[in-house]
Structures are given as C-alpha cells and as structure tokens.
A and B are shown apart, each in its own frame.
Chain A
Amino acid sequence: MDSSSLLKLLSEEYQERVFDGKIITDVATVSVNPGNWVSICHSLRDDKSLLLHSISNFGAIDFREKLGGYQIVLTVFSHQFNHKITIKTLLPAKEDDSPIVGTISGVWPSAEWFEREMAELFGIIFEGHPDPRHLLLDDDWDEGYPMRRGWSGKDFVVKPEI
C-alpha cells in the first residue's frame, strides 16, 4: 500500500484515536494520545489488512522547549505488504519530570531494549516493563539522563559555536 492510501485507511479506521496524519518524506505519520499508546499499538499489530509485525525504529526526542514534553516515535513495517508507518506520541513533561507511558514490549518483543535505552537516556518511565534495568549505561550510573537537551556531565564538554 502506498503512503497516501495507508494514511487514509489509518485516519478512517482509527479516527477516534489517531490525529494529525501527514506524510513525512514518504512515510505515513500519525499522532496518538499517550493514554492510547499501548492500545493503538495492539490494534495496529493485529490488523490483518496492515500486518505491521516488525519494528523498524523506536526512539525518543526531547522536545521540552518546543512542544513541552518528550516525543516518542515508533516506525513499524510489514514485510508482506512492504509498507511502513510512523506513530508518535507526546509525553508532557516540565524541567526534571520523568513522564510515564505504557510499555509496548508485550506487543513487539523487540521494543524491550529500545525502551530500556530510552528509560536510562531520557528518564522516561515505561510502566509494566518486564526488565527495567540499564541497558547501555553502568548499573550505578548517577549522572542523570544524558540524552536530555542541556545535560552536562563530568567529562562532557560542549563544543563552542562555529
């Protein structure tokens, strides 16, 4: 399915839950509310007309200044139909808040490590995660969340502007 018909299908079938549908460099992109995050992932995976059964990318962006929170972006795709979609949700957060969202590691098991990584680097809490240990950082890391904008650590030097 091409991106525009995919977008049409998404905004018709899931119109109560998705909004702000657009095509960003040929990928159909929709937004959902954090409360619907897990349920929409479940529905999309189980939709027989979409067959979105693999994760392509899953990451977080610190948009506290611009949008007032962290955005988590998930790209899933189908091998059979050769199409992919991106789902976004904005988790509102102020200064040092750690926003909470449900885990989708029960939907796609490979999300487990992506979520562990986001939890340690951004401080997002994934509720119900089966293994909430650190993934990349030391177990006794205590210098905060390095991927947040404006973070500074002991050995981290910001390059001067050119």
Chain B
Amino acid sequence: MPQLGESIAEATIVRLDCAVGAEVQADDEVIEVETNKATMGVTTLCGGVVKELFAEEGETYAVGTILGLVEATEEEIARTGVSVHGEEAATPEEPEAPRPHDYRPGEEEESYLPPKVEIEPSVQGLPVPAGGSKGAHYISPRMRARMNELGLQGADVSAIAGSGAGGRVTVEDLENFLGYIEGWPSSKASPMRLAVADAMRRSWTRPLATVGMPIRLENLLKFRSAQNPKPGLTLFVLRAFGLALRENPETAGFLVGSKIVHPKAYDIGVAVQVEDGVLVPVLRNVDQRSVPELLGDYEELVAKGREKKVPEEAVGGGIATVTNFGTFGLRWATPVPLPSETLILGMGGGEKVPRWDEAKGEFVPVLEAEFTLTFDHRVVDGGGAGLLLKRVSELLQAPEEL
C-alpha cells in the first residue's frame, strides 16, 4: 500500500482491477483504493503476471502493507529497476514492517546518529572531549544550593561516597548521609572553632609543602638564661625569622593571579593556643626592632591572646606566623599557614641527642629542636624554604645579636 498523500496512514481497497494470473504492464492501475483524502489507482511498477493478491475489496490496509506480488522477467526487472521481493513473502496477516515511507510518532529502529568519533584527550590542549564527567569533586548548582540551605561547605560532605555521575555526591546522597548521622551524639561548634575551620579550609585550597631541620639551641638557651627578664624562646625565633625574611623578601610574597605581592612590612604573628582554637596576634616590624625592644609588646600580646583579647592593631596583616608546638611535647608537626600568609614556622620541643663529632671522633650530646617550615608551594620552592630555615638557624646561633 503506497503512501498516497501526506499524513495518510491507511487506505481501503475499493476494487481489484486485476486477478491472479492476469498479465499487467508497467504503470497499469491495478487496484483502486480510497484514502481519507481521495480515491485513486495503485499502479504496478513493472510488467508481468499477477502471482498473488493478498488484498481484498472493502478491507483497509496500513501504508507499507504488501497487497500482492507480480512475477516479472529478469529483463523487465532490469528495464524498470524495481526491487525484488524476498523469499519470505509477507502476507496481509503479517504485514511487513511499515517502512520506509510511513512513520509513527515515537518509532525509530534504524540509527540516524552520526558515527561516534573517539577523541583522544591531549595534554597539548585541544581537542579534548566536550562535556562528560567533571569528577567527584564537582558540586552542581543544585547541590551547592542545598548545601547553602544547610550551611554546609564542600569539606563537610567529604565523608560522603557519591553515587552520581563520575562518583559525584548528589543531593540525594547528602540527604541520605544527613539521615544516617541523625541521632549520633553531636555538639554545637563554637564560633572560634568555626572561625579556625573556615581559615584552615581556605588555606588548604593551596598546595602546601613542609621542610624541616634540627636547629641547635645551646647558645640560645645559654644567652637567654643570662637575661633578666628572660625573653621567651619564641621571641628569638620570631626576630630571627623576621630578619631572614627581610633578606629573602620574595619568599614572603603571596600570589594573586599573575602577580606576586610583596610585604610592605615584616610583621609576624605568634600562634597562641586558647580554648577550642588558636589566636594569632601580630607583632609589627619585627625586622626593625631587637629582642629587648620587642619584649614588652610580645609579652603583652601573648598574655592578651590567652585571654582572647587581642587588640585591634595586632589583628591581621602579618606575612608569616611562628608557632611553638614544642610546648605540647611535640617534636614534629606541619602547621598550616593562615590563608592570608605564605609561611608558618613551627618549633618542636628541645631534646638532648647524640651527634657525631668528627673532630673528637665520638658522639657528643647536643641540645636541638626540629624546626618545620610550611609554605605555599606556588610562591616558594623547597630550596628557597630550606635556605630560609637555614638562615634562621644561623641567626639563632648568635642570639646576642638578635
């Protein structure tokens, strides 16, 4: 049954103008049919003998149904270019799949998609595959909006194994997780805790690295014990760190876009542990004032820090921080610099250890502590950090000059 007009789905046989065994010529109208639009004749495409007629008068057939078969000679087939029906002749009861000239909405068997071209990602740039997974760390606008509603940060949901595309955490995963931990013991985080958390989270967005070395403390302790009042060890380190930084100002810079921003002054903070957090009062112009000159300010700031009453003028603006984790009995740590700073110098606890003395040909006891320097690797390299730390060590060997 041909497609006799646009949007025609079927047609009814009005009259069969041929019979099985009849001889027909190409273009003879052999069957009269009626569509919703008109009555018209169905023609044969080639001459031959009507071999079979499946169609019956008065019956309605879908477009594409085989109504009958004409047997034609090879010459006639070649002359007219008609297609030859296969061995598995369809019957009206089993109409051939109605193709290609009709189409029902929602039907599609054959692929009309262009063949897929696999593009290899290239480290040299394009082409890379468009779209695709953005990885587990990707937070969609929808997920972000839900997290904002709940007051959550990216790190807060790091415990959740994502079930979304590329292993990404979905809103559903988040809700499941929140349901899972509901009823677990919990407490409210203090404002101090949240402030530290926020600062550490921001700082952690950078590639941080740490170098460390032991620094001998005999000279420093000896000199200090002779002083009255006795300045804290941390103050000497602060002063030495300030001088070392002034000698290597590039290491104290911070990166903004394609710019390294250098410090206007060598102000260095000191980490003060308080209940449920850390405060960092900042001592100004450490490079320009000697230890005795700094002593008053330093002690006042540390004391105020412990009371959580750091004065306004001592808040922020530092270029680095010194933290004495040795006071907790620790030998080694990798402290995290403040988000606005590039460096943090950590002091381990002092310890008497045996060191090989080449001149004496024996182990001798020395007093030393491990110092660690954590830095933003975007700005400072390991070598630069090492030189800086070494310089601090040198300066600390002559405490009287500090």
The reply to whether chain A is a binding partner of chain B is no
Report which A residues bind B (CB closer than 8 A).
Answer: none
